[in-house]
A and B are shown apart, each in its own frame.
Chain A
Amino acid sequence: MLDRAVTGSQKYWGWLIFLLILMGIGFACYLYQFKVGLKITGMSRDVSWGFYIGQLTYFVGIAAGGVMVVLPYYLHDYKAFGRITILGEFLAVASVVMCGLFVIVDLGNLPRMINIMIYPNPTSILFWDMIVLNVYMLLNIVIGWNVLSAERKGIRYQKWVKVLIYISIPWAFSIHTVTAFLYAGIPGRHFWLTAILAARFLSSAFASGPALLILLCLIVRKVSKFDPGKEQIRTLGGIVTYAFILNMFFLLLEVFTAFYSQIPGHMHSFIYLFWGHEGHVSVLAPWMWASIAFAVVALVLLIVPAARRREDILAVGCVAVIASTWIDKGFGLVIGGFIPNPFERVFEYWPTVPEVLISVGVWATGFFILSVLYKIVVSVKEEVAA
C-alpha cells in the first residue's frame, strides 16, 4: 500500500515539499541548538521547561483523542465510525511522533538518551511515559495498517488485530493519564499538584483530538473523492461539545478551590497567568484571556444545536476549541507551573525564534507523516469505492 503514498497530484507533492522546507529550517535550527546548547531557548533556571514540553503535552492529548472514534465503533457498535476509525488511528501515530520529537529536542544531552534504557528507573513517570507512548504508537500503526489492508482486499481483518484494538482503547486513556502524572505528583508546584489534572487532560484531549479530526475530515472531503460522512462529522461534533464542556467545568473547579480556599500557593499561578505580578501584566496574560475568549466562542457555537449542525459553523467551533486548548495546555499549563518559582519570585518566559522554528519543524514532520498516511487511506478508500 505504501506505493499509494508516492503517486499523487501536483498539489499533494507541493504540500509535501512545503512541509519538507519547514522541516529543513527546523532541523538547521536544531543543529544550532545541539551545538550551542539550550541557552538559545527562552528557558532558564526558573522556567526549566517551556514550549517544547508544552507541545509534547498538547500532542499527547491529540493522540489520545483519536480513541473517540475507535471506542464508539468497537465498544458501542456505532457502525458509522467504521469509515473513519483509520483517520483517528493515523492521527494518533503522527501525534505520537511529534511527542517523541518534542522530547528529543528538549533533551540537554541527546546522545545519552539510551541511558533511559540502560539504567531504567521504574519510579520515574518519564520512564513510563516513554513506554506507554511508544506502545500506543505501535498499536496504532499495526492496527491501522492491518485494518486498511484488509479493507483494500475486501476481507475481514484477523482476530488478533481485534485483541490489539481492545487493548488500544484503555491504552489511549493511559497515555494522557501518565502524562498528567508527570506534573500532578510533584511536591511544591501547586499549579500542577491537583488530583483533577489527569481528568482535565483527558477532557481537553477528547475535545481537541476530535475537533482536529473534524477539520481533517472536511479537508479530506475537499481534496479527495472519499467522503468521511455527514453523520460521522455530526457525531464527532457532539463528542467535541460534551468533552469541551467538561474541560471548562474542570477548569472552573480548579478556580473555585484556589480562590475560595484563598491558599496563596494555589492562587499564585492563576493570578500570574491571567493578570500578572506586582502591577506588572504578565507576557502570558493576553494569551490566557484569548484562550478564554476562544472557549466562550466555542461553547456558544457548539452548544446551540442549530449552529453545531451546520458544518461551516462546526468548523469554526472546532478551530476555537483547538486554539483555546492549545493555549491552555500547550503554553499556560507548563509555564504557569514554574511561575512563581520556588522562592515565590517571578521570572518570565517567552520562546525564542529558533525555539519556535524548531517546534515548527516538529509540527511539519508530524503533518508530513499525517499527510502521507492519509494519502494512503484516501487512495485505498477511493479504490475500494470504485
Chain B
Amino acid sequence: MGVDRRGFLKIAGISALLGLGGKTAIDFLAPGDLEASMDAVPLTEGKRWAMVIDMQKMDEEMMEKCIEACHSEHNVPDLGNPKDEVKWLFKEEYEHTFPGQKHDYIGDEVKHKNFLLLCNHCSNPPCCRVCPTKATWQRKDGVVMMDQHRCIGCRFCMAACPFGARSFNWGDPRKAPKELNPEFPTNQDYPTREKGVVEKCTFCAERIAKGQLPACVEAANEIKENVFTFGDLADPDSGVRAILRKHYTIRRKPELGTEPNIFYIV
C-alpha cells in the first residue's frame, strides 16, 4: 500500500510535531511506504498495449456510454464552451477520421458514420519527441503517458499530434460550471488538474496496472462483448494479435510513420 493524501498529511503532521522532515520522517513513521507511493502508476507486464475497435458492432449509444465512462473516470469536466473543450475519448465522422480515404461517391451513411477516437499510443510518438520537460513520454509497455503535474502548458505536443488527441485546460477544470458538472470530481481516486496543462487518454494506466480493462472497454463490454479488444501486440498469442490476423483493419494516417496502435475494423 502506498501513502495516500490523508495518510501523508497525518504523517506530515506528526513528523512536524516530532521535528522530523521529508523522507526521513516517512521512513520512520511508515517504513517502506514511500518508495511505492513516489513511483508513478506502476508499469504493467505488457510490452505494446494496443486496441482493436470493431466498428461494425459499435453503435452511437455504446460510444456515448464509453465516452461517459472515460470522462467520469478521469474527472474530465464539461466546460460548456466548445472552444475550450477537453476530450479524451470522442466521436468523429468517417470522412474526417480518415480524410485521406474519402471520395465523392461514398454513401452518406458511411460518410457521416461516427468513429470512436482516442490517443493512438503510437509506437513512434511525435508528442513525446517534442515535449520540453518529458511530461509526456512512452513507457516500456507502450503506453504514451502524460504527467499533468509536470506539464508547463507549452502545447508543443498538441501541434505535434497529427490525430488531435490532446486537449488543453484553457480554463480551470476545478471551476467548471456546477450546473453542467453537479458531481465533479466524479472520481475521488483520480487527480483533478490545474488550469494550463495538457491532458489526454492514458489507456487507463491506473486501471491496467491493477489488471483491469480500460474504462471504455469495460463500459462497452457491459452492453456487448468483443467490440473492443485490448491487449499486448508483443504477445503473439494475445487477443489483439488473433483479431489482427483474422480481420482487415485500418489505422489513422499510417503514412506519417507514427505507428498508431488503435486499429479499426470497418
Residues of A within 8 A of B (CB): 36-39, 41, 43-46, 48-49, 103, 106-110, 112-113, 115-116, 118-121, 123-127, 130, 182-183, 186-189, 337-338, 341-345
Instruction: Verify B256–A342 contact, CB threshold 8 A.
Output: no
A52-B154 Cα distance, complex, nearest whole Å? 11
Does any Cβ of A come within 8 Å of B194's Cβ? Answer: yes
Judge whether B2 is part of the interface by a CB distance below 8 angstroms: no
User: How far apart sit A43 and B168, CA to CA, in the bound complex (Å)?
Assistant: 10
Q: B182-199 toward A: CB 8 Å interface, digit per residue (1/0)?
A: 000000000000111110
Chain B nearest CB from A60 CB (Å) reads: 16
What are 29 A-B contacts defined by CB distance under 8 Å? A37-B170, A37-B171, A38-B195, A39-B81, A45-B84, A45-B158, A45-B167, A48-B155, A48-B158, A48-B159, A108-B154, A108-B169, A109-B151, A109-B195, A109-B196, A109-B197, A112-B133, A112-B150, A112-B153, A119-B135, A120-B133, A123-B129, A124-B130, A126-B130, A188-B126, A338-B159, A342-B163, A343-B96, A343-B99
Q: Residue B253 at the A interface, CB < 8 A?
A: yes
On whether A116 and B170 interact (CB within 8 A), knowing A108-B154, A109-B152, A343-B164, the answer reads: no
CA distance A121 to B158 in the complex (A): 17
Which chain A residue shows the least CB distance to B163? Answer: A342
Whole-angstrom CA separation of A270 from B129 in the bound complex: 27
Q: Are B159's CB and A126's CB within 8 A?
A: no
Residue from the list A44, A107, A121 in contact with B153, Cβ < 8 A: A107
B19 to chain A, nearest CB (A): 29
B150 partner residues in chain A, CB cutoff 8 A: 112, 115, 119
Q: Does B134 contact A (CB under 8 A)?
A: yes
A37:B197 contact, CB within 8 angstroms: no
Min Cβ gap B125→A in Å is 10
Q: Does B160 contact A (CB under 8 A)?
A: yes
Residue from B85, B86, B152, B257 within 8 A of A115 (CB atoms)? B152
Q: In this complex, what residue of B is CB-closest to A338?
A: B159
A127: chain B residues at CB < 8 Å are 132
- Within 8 Å by CB of B164, from A43, A118, A341, lies A341
Chain A residues lying within 8 Å of B168, measured Cβ to Cβ, are 38, 45, 48, 108
CB atoms of A126 and B132 under 8 A apart: yes
Whether A124 lies near B131 (C-beta < 8 A) is yes
Contact with A along B80-93 (1 / 0, CB 8 A): 01011111000010
In the complex, the answer to whether A187 meets B159 with C-beta atoms within 8 Å is: no
**Looking at the complex, which one of A43, A116, A183, A187 makes contact with B132 (CB distance below 8 Å)?**
A116
Contact with A along B246-266 (1 / 0, CB 8 A): 000000010011100000000
Q: How far is the CB of B93 from chain A (nearest CB, A)?
A: 8
New contact pairs (10) apart from A45-B167, A182-B156, CB-CB < 8 Å = A36-B172, A37-B169, A46-B164, A48-B158, A107-B152, A108-B197, A186-B126, A187-B126, A341-B164, A343-B99
Q: Looking across the interface, which residue of chain A has its beta carbon closest to that of B130? A: A124
**A126-B161 CB under 8 A given contacts A37-B172, A187-B257, A343-B96:** no
Contact of B84 among A39, A118, A119, A121 (CB under 8 A): A39
Alpha-carbon separation in the docked complex, A106 to B85 (Å): 18
Q: Does A45 lie within 8 Å of B132, measured CB to CB?
A: no
Of the candidates A39, A120, A130, A186, the one whose C-beta lies within 8 Å of that of B130 is A186
- Contact of B97 with A by CB under 8 A: yes
| Complex: A185 Cα to B126 Cα, angstroms | 9
In the complex, number of A-B residue pairs with CB atoms less than 8 Å apart: 140
CB-CB < 8 A to B135: which residues of A? 115, 119
The 10 A-B pairs with the shortest beta carbon distances in the complex, nearest first, are A108-B153, A188-B162, A108-B196, A39-B170, A343-B96, A37-B195, A115-B133, A187-B256, A342-B164, A39-B171
Question: Which single member of B87, B159, B196 contacts A189 (CB below 8 Å)?
Answer: B159
B92 and A343 contact, CB distance less than 8 A: yes
Which of A108, A116, A182 meets B195, CB within 8 Å?
A108
Q: B261 → chain A, closest Cβ, in Å? A: 16
Interface size on B, residues (CB 8 A): 47
A114 to chain B, nearest CB (A): 9
Query: Which chain A residues lie closer than 8 Å to B129 at the CB level?
Result: 123-124
Q: Is the CB of B130 within 8 A of A44?
A: no
Find chain A residues with CB under 8 A from B159 CB: 48-49, 183, 186, 189, 337-338
B17 to chain A, nearest CB (A): 30
The answer to whether B162 touches A187 (Cβ under 8 A) is yes
Least Cβ distance of A264 to chain B in Å? 8
Complex CA–CA separation, A186 to B257 (angstroms)? 11
**Closest A residue, CB atoms, query B252:** A342
| Bound: A118/B126 CA distance, A | 21
Q: How far is the CA of A48 from the CA of B151 in the complex (A)?
A: 15
Given contacts A343-B164, A345-B96, contact A44 B84 (CB under 8 A): yes
- Chain B 211-223 interface 0/1 with A at a Cβ cutoff of 8 Å (1 = within): 0000000000000
Determine which residue in A38, A127, A182 has the highest number of CB atoms from chain B within 10 A of its CB, and name it: A38
Contacts of A48 in B (CB 8 A): 155, 158-159, 168
With A37-B195, A186-B159 known as contacts, the answer to whether A44 contacts B257 (CB < 8 A) is no
Assembly CA distance A189 to B167 (angstroms):
17
Please, which residues of chain B bring their CB within 8 A of the CB of A188?
A: 126, 161-163, 253, 256
Q: Which residue of B lies closest to A123 (CB)?
A: B129
Bound CA span A41–B163, Å: 23
B162–A38 CB distance below 8 A: no
Q: A294–B106 Cα gap in the complex (Å)?
A: 44
| Cβ-defined contact, A49 with B155, below 8 A | yes
Chain A residue nearest to B148 in the complex (CB): A109
B257 touches A121 (CB 8 A): no
Which residue of chain B has the shortest Cβ distance to A114 in the bound complex?
A: B152
A116 and B133 contacting across the interface, CB-CB below 8 Å: yes
Q: How far is the CA of A208 from the CA of B12 in the complex (A)?
A: 58
Contact across chains for B153 and A124 when beta carbons are under 8 A apart:
no
List CB contacts (< 8 Å) of B42-78 with chain A: none
CB of B152 within 8 A of CB of A112, answer yes
Tell me the bound Cα distance from A320 to B163 in angstroms.
Answer: 38
Min CB gap B135→A, angstroms: 7
